[in-house]
Structure 1
Amino acid sequence: MRAGGFLIPVLLVLAGCKPEPEAPALALHPVPVQQRLPAQVSAPALESGRVSIRGDDALADVLSWTLPEASIEQPARARAAARRALAKGDLFETAESAIPLLLALRKAQPDNAQDARLLEKARAALLAQAWIALDAGEDLASLRYAQRHGTVLRTLWPALPEAKTYLDAVDRAGQAFELCVGGERALHAGNLDTSGGALELFRRAQALWPLQTRAQRGIAAVQAALLAGAQAQAAEGDFEGAYAELSRAGRVRSDAEAIATARQRIEATRTDRIRRLGDEGLMALADPAGLQIARERLAEILRIALPGSGAGVALRQRIDLVGHYGLFRPGQVFTDEMADGGRGPALSVLPRGGFSMGAPEDEEGASPDEQPQHPVRFERGFAMTRHEITVGQFRRFVTATGATPRATQRGHSLAYDARSGNFLRGSGIDWQSGYDGRPAGEDMPVIHVTARDAEAYAAWLSEQTGVHYRLPSEAEFEYALRAGGQTLYPWGVGAPPAGAGNLAGGKDVSTRGRSWSNAFPGYGDGWWGPAPVGRFAANAYGLYDMVGNVSEWVADCWHRGYRRAPSNGQAWVNPGCRTRMYRGSSWASAPAQARSAWRASGGVDATNARVGFRLVRQL
């Protein structure tokens, strides 16, 4: 069991249940009798030995009570004072308390029946007050208060049956309290369900004092720790170990919902790990030297997959067909047939080759996040969709699968507000909407989608075509954007030539007469907002709108700069990352963002009017 991976959930379960300060040993009464419990619950046998609550000297005051000496000069006044003290619940602490006054009166006037009745009422009040204190004894202060009452009862009425019952009960509660403190120490040390561990201590406390909710919370915390440990093992790829931990958690207490939820999370982790291994294996096959990597990824998939799941079939098939890449040629344009009888998006085959990724140190407007410039080489070509995925293409996926993209789920996205000229969150805006929130045409690039929405579309397209589609890596996108060049902008240097793309130009004007404050002077393309795909010239690799129109999600997670970045063009990912990359300028980007090396990041669930996506198809 690993102690480091699950302390946070344990602390959350134990919130409000921290170990109390320790105190010296205590044993109020050694003889076990029936604890005051609900009628249907029987008291367990008290273990031999004495309660040992270790710590400071605060308990000395609890155990050192002596009867305060009350002075009786005028019995009537003393009796009245005793009545008042009794009414207030002031029973024993001072010479003016009810019991010291009444005992002094009984000594002075032994035959006074009124005093005898008042003393009996005071004793009954003391027992009632003691039980109330014990019932509230979840924390050390309440327990000490209950023990103080026990000290008074033991001092004044040790032979009283009700006192004996209470003394044994407070002993049992004290033992349960100490066991809970020990259980919490064991829990924080990671000693969960072994012999002498937290679970055993909490259960012993619960057996001694079934009304002890602190023990119940401790048992729940043990289960939470085991469930967290199961998830941690799953995250490391040890699913056999994860289910062993899950089995241990199931034996702690009956909580079918928690176990079922943990099982779902483990299986979600397994599914995600298999998907990532498959993507890594398929990307590795783009490099002849990556065949062994792909086989290793397949072996790992088969190790962790459930029997009969069919996981790894696509990777196995690609490994078997790795020698048949001669079916395609650089520059070839093609589409894949889909299972529903339609055709997939048009693709262009990019040639294998290399380039220098990122910005050189002297590039104007460059950011350290785009450096160091480093070589990347693709030993195999790959196909990329010629256009950004359109609203119509995305609609086929939503209609076929019943998917609910993220912006649709939450009911809003970030769109351009024509009145203010700002990007504002608008209700009812999702993938069917344009940049300004109005309905989008079928040939417009789909926007208001997350990276996960894009990956869901890619997974569906892969199922439909029987080949592997995915988001491009950041390196693949920049390689495709540069299209064989290494210049500041994809078109070269200086101002963009006419028709270079849907860029923010000085001649562009919105429907309300607005113009860009930071744009390419003298350039105009006739669009304020995205244009339908393919309206501008294709680049040297046959790809449209790689610069301008909309920025596009890629597969990589955010990393500050390119130190230790992959040199083979694979996506640079961290499992579970919450920030993803997008590349390429949009219709509303400043000139510095139209540079070939420009890169930006966004939250994994972010949607707005400037970011869409295109896909890569593995060859």
Structure 2
Amino acid sequence: MTSARARRAGAAAALALLLAAGCGRDSGSGDAAPDAVADKARGDGSVTISGDDRLADTLTWRAPKVELDNNEVALEDALERADAALEAGDLDAGPGSAIPLYQAVLAHVPDSAPAREGLERAFTALLAEGRQALARAGDDDAALRRAREVAAVARSLRPGGDQVVEYLAGVDRAEEMAEINRAAEVELREGRLGEAGGGALAKVRQALALDADQPRALQTLAAVESAMIRRAEEAASEGDFETAGTWLAHAGEVREDVDTVDDARARVDTERRRWIERLRDDGVAALSKPDGIERARTLLARMLTLAEPGDPAVAELRERIDLAVHYGSFRPGQRFTDAAAGGRGPRMVVVPHGGFTMGAVDGDRDAGDSERPRRNLRFDRGFALSLHEITVAQFRRFVEATGYRTRAERRGFSMAYDERSGNFVRRSGVDWRSDFAGAPAAANLPVVHVSARDAQAYADWLAEVSGERYRLPSEAEFEYALRAGGRGRYPWGDDAPPAGTGNLTGGKDRSPGGRGWSNAFDGYGDGHWGPAPVGSFTANAFGLHDLEGNVSEWVADCWHDSYRRAPTSGAAWVNPGCRMQVVRGGAWASSPPQTRSSWRAPSPVDNTNARVGFRVARDI
């Protein structure tokens, strides 16, 4: 404002002379100013547009009416207000804006140099503002409206000026682009993507033909691709992978050099995998029901339309159908898993029906009265046992699914191996997540530090989520499976264990600190001090791992001092509310006498330590 007032002071005398001349001049006479700015200033600010200009309706500007007295003071004040408005960026919005004020002064004093100069500066600022609005117009409708407003004002000031003509052409392009973009967005919202021609895709490509880098059009293009991908994924979720593939092919033609479609194909393939596995699970479940074979074959046929050749899930269901056709639901030695809570249960092995003699063999010097009297038992129907002990990973799945807290967690300790003393000691913070020494356990180790009640809770959960009759094995079932047809003191016979028999106490075994066993199988070594990953040793004749060693196992029976009055069916001998339960089978830290086939021991149902885990049985 200081510079404007100085300029005003320097031109005061000239303004007075111009006022005298201006007051006697007819603003509509033929003595028009030679340039467009002065010529426009004499009118009311309106421009009549002719021809086929597509923006004619939006480019007519009528200058706001300025009430201005025709005297020196009023005109000087108007010039100062116009300069202030110009500096503030208020160019054309109302009667107090720079351009209307300059025009009002020129209407009274056409030769006013300050008004001409100010109007020229306002015109330059106006075009600059318009160009800035044009730069944003592709993504901002408000900026496009402002660009049109500027176009109307600029055209009224200099109808034929080169800058104005060039600017108007830019507005025209922006308006055309905006219309195309809006039309593309309407097509997109109404679901007409244009995969077969037309639709949103055609519109957006029309826009990009005008400007290959136009952000709004590129955004719509990406949205078209996303809509096609979404349709592909919706089709996949319904199992219609043919339609999903068609939509992915369309999406792949929308944009180049992007990973979105490849990522979508990976998601659809994942969904395909889920469908294949779900069909496999449904087929397996069908086989246990009347007339389930035909249902399973139908599901297999559906799987074959989805899976690649050699798919393992397809092979599994095909084999299960073949077994059902030729052997009924199961066969001796068969391994299987059940669907359980969105995943798979433990691998099971069908133990064949048959008979055996339970209890200590005659002349066994290490046997106690609890292993007698010997008795003959027969299983008229086979049953299934888990291939190996339940692992840490399998138990974790149960805990995560149910929120179950084990006995060791609730009381805060368990019995773990202490390397310094070579004994088992009470150690705080040890639970099912821990290994034999209390360190974090690997997922494929047998779970230890679990009580009999913890083991029963896992079996109950597995039965619930699978719909099958899972349970802890009976003591008779355990010994029958452990012997696997043998009649010796040990599962492998009467002599020393052959190499690779199992995780036993061997004379060659050494702890991390160099300790050895004081009572062990001479000359035997298995390379482990503590439990080994399940299944690390050869399966027995029934196809089961680790029954003779690794960890001892809880069975369902309550403890009784002998087999007198035990069930003759081989079922578990259970008394309501019993506090002591039976542990069977040798462990990594068991002496040779504790590895005998008939060995059994009592343990409180809440006891937990690093030597005892469990496996599950299932009725078939």
2:35 alignment partner in structure 1: none
Q: How does 1:129-528 map to 2 (within 5 A)?
A: 129-137=129-137, 138-193=139-194, 194-208=196-210, 212-307=214-309, 309=311, 312-325=314-327, 347=349, 383-385=384-386, 389-391=390-392, 432-433=433-434, 439=440, 443-444=446-447, 474=464, 477=467, 479-480=469-470
Q: Take 1:275 and 1:385, find their aligned partners in 2: how far apart are those partners?
A: 22
RMSD across aligned positions (CA): 5.2
Q: Gaps (5+ residues) in structure 2?
A: 1-47, 337-345, 354-380, 413-428, 451-460, 474-550, 559-566, 578-604, 608-612
- Higher RCO (C-alpha under 8 Å, 6+ residues apart): 1
| Partner SS for 1:252 | coil
Letter in 1 for 2:136: A
Q: Is structure 2 residue 89 aligned with structure 1 residue 69?
A: no
SS at match of 1:111: coil
Distance in 1 separating the partners of 2:260 and 2:431:
34
Counterpart-to-counterpart distance in 1, 2:252 and 2:104: 60
- Residue 223 of structure 1: CA displacement? 0.5
Instruction: Check whether the contact 1:91–1:122 (CA below 8 A) recurs between aligned residues.
Output: yes
The aligned counterpart of 1:83 is: 83
Q: 1:537 aligns with which of 551, 554, 557?
A: 557
1:241 Cα offset (Å): 2.0
Change in Cα spacing, 1:381 to 1:111, as seen in structure 2 (3 Å) is farther
Greater shift, 212-221 or 257-266, is seen at 212-221
**Whole-angstrom CA distance in 1 between matches of 2:572 and 2:281:** 24
Structure 2 distance, partners of 1:278, 1:181, is 48
The one-letter amino acid paired with 1:198 is A
CA distance in 2, matches of 1:252, 1:168: 30
Partner letter of residue 231 of structure 2? G
Q: CA 1:346–1:249 in 2, change beyond 3 Å: closer, same or farther? A: closer
The SS at the match of 1:537 is: strand
- Shift in Å, 1:542: 6.1
Q: State how far apart, in whole Å, the 2-side matches of 1:251 and 1:443 are.
A: 52
Number of the residue aligned with 2:598: none
When residues 155 and 287 of structure 1 are mapped into structure 2, their CA distance, relative to the original with a 3 A threshold, is same
Cα distance in 1 for partners of 2:214, 2:409 equals 63
Structure whose CA Rg is larger: 2
**Superposed CA offset, 1:321-345 (max 9, x none):** 324437968xx8x6869xxxxxx97
Change over 3 Å in CA distance of 1:218–1:122 after alignment to 2: same
Question: In 1, are the aligned partners of 2:236 and 2:244 still within 8 Å (CA)?
Answer: yes
How far is 1:150 from its partner? 1.6
Provide the rounded CA distance (Å) in 1 between the counterparts of 2:246 and 2:618.
39
Counterpart code for 1:144? R
Residues 406/150 of structure 1: CA separation in 2 closer, same or farther (3 Å cut): farther
SS of residue in 2 equivalent to 1:306: coil
- How much has 1:236 moved relative to structure 2? 2.4
Q: 1:190 to 1:381 in 2, by over 3 A?
A: farther
* Structure-1 separation of matches of 2:310 and 2:320: 20
Counterpart residue type for residue 188 of structure 2: L
CA distance in 2 between counterparts of 1:81 and 1:382 reads 101
Assess, with a 3 A threshold, how the Cα gap between structure 1 residues 542 and 119 changes in structure 2: closer, same or farther. Answer: farther
Distance 1:293 1:83, change over 3 A: same
- Equivalent residues in 2 for 1:21-170 (5 A)? 50=54, 65-69=62-66, 71=68, 73-74=71-72, 75-137=75-137, 138-170=139-171
1:249 CA displacement: 0.5
| Residues 350 and 382, structure 2, Cα contact 8 Å, conserved in 1 | no
| Contact in 2 for aligned 1:348/1:541 (Cα 8 Å) | no
Between the aligned partners of 1:221 and 1:271, the Cα distance in structure 2 is 27
On the 8 A contact 1:445/1:533 being kept in 2, the answer is no
Counterparts of 2:53 and 2:573, CA distance in 1: 84
What is the deviation of 1:264?
0.7
Displacement after TM superposition at 1:158 (Å): 1.9
- In the TM superposition, what is the alpha-carbon distance from 1:346 to its structure 2 partner? 6.9
Change (3 A) 1:543 1:335: farther
Consecutive unaligned residues of structure 1, counting only runs of 5 or more, are 1-27, 32-47, 53-58, 338-343, 352-379, 396-404, 423-427, 448-470, 484-530, 549-585, 589-611
| Shift in Å, 1:67 | 4.5
Corresponding residue of 1:521: none
Cα deviation 1:515-545 (Å, max 9, x = unaligned) = xxxxxxxxxxxxxxxx974154289886899
Change (3 A) 1:85 1:317: same
Q: CA deviation at 1:319?
A: 2.4
Do the aligned residues in 2 keep the contact of 1:226 with 1:248 (CA within 8 Å)?
yes
Who is 2:357 aligned against?
A: none
Paired residue type of 1:534? W
- Equivalent pair of 1:131/1:166 in contact (CA under 8 Å): yes
CA distances 1:134-184 after superposition (whole Å, capped 9, x unpaired): 223323333222221122122222211221222222232223223323222
SS in 2 for 1:280: helix
Per-residue deviation, 1:89: 0.8
Given that residues 134 and 143 in structure 1 are in contact (C-alpha distance below 8 angstroms), is that contact kept between their aligned partners in structure 2?
yes
Shift of 1:209: 5.1
Q: Is the 8 A contact 1:234 1:270 kept in 2?
A: yes
Deviation for aligned residue 1:315: 2.0
Alpha-carbon contact 2:82-2:99 (below 8 Å) kept: yes
Deviations 1:226-245 (A, max 9, x none): 01111122222222221211
* Shift in alpha-carbon separation, 1:477–1:313, aligned structure 2, 3 A: closer
Conserved 8 A contact 2:470-2:619 = no
Do the aligned residues in 1 keep the contact of 2:136 with 2:143 (CA within 8 Å)?
Answer: yes
Is the 1:186–1:198 contact (alpha carbons within 8 Å) kept by the matching residues of 2? Answer: yes
Equivalents in 2 of 1:30, 1:265: separation in Å? 58
Q: Is this contact kept in 2: 1:348–1:543, CA < 8 A?
A: no
CA contact under 8 A between 1:234 and 1:266: conserved in structure 2? yes
- Matched position secondary structure for 1:534: strand
- Partner AA of 1:274 in structure 2: I
TM-aligned CA distance change 1:323 to 1:190, over 3 Å: same
Q: Aligned partners of 2:228, 2:278: CA distance in 1, in Å? A: 26
User: Could you list the per-position Cα deviations for residues 351-396 of structure 1 after superposition, in whole angstroms to 9, with x for gaps in the alignment?
Assistant: 9xxxxxxxxxxxxxxxxxxxxxxxxxxxx987353986133x969x
Aligned pairs, number? 384
Report deviation, 1:129.
0.9
Question: C-alpha offsets along residues 574-609 of structure 1, whole Å, 9 cap, x if unaligned?
Answer: xxxxxxxxxxxx989xxxxxxxxxxxxxxxxxxxxx
> How far off its partner does 1:123 sit?
0.5
> How far does residue 272 in structure 1 lie from its aligned partner after superposition?
1.5
The residue identity in structure 2 corresponding to 1:201 is K
- Alpha-carbon offset, residue 285 of structure 1: 2.2
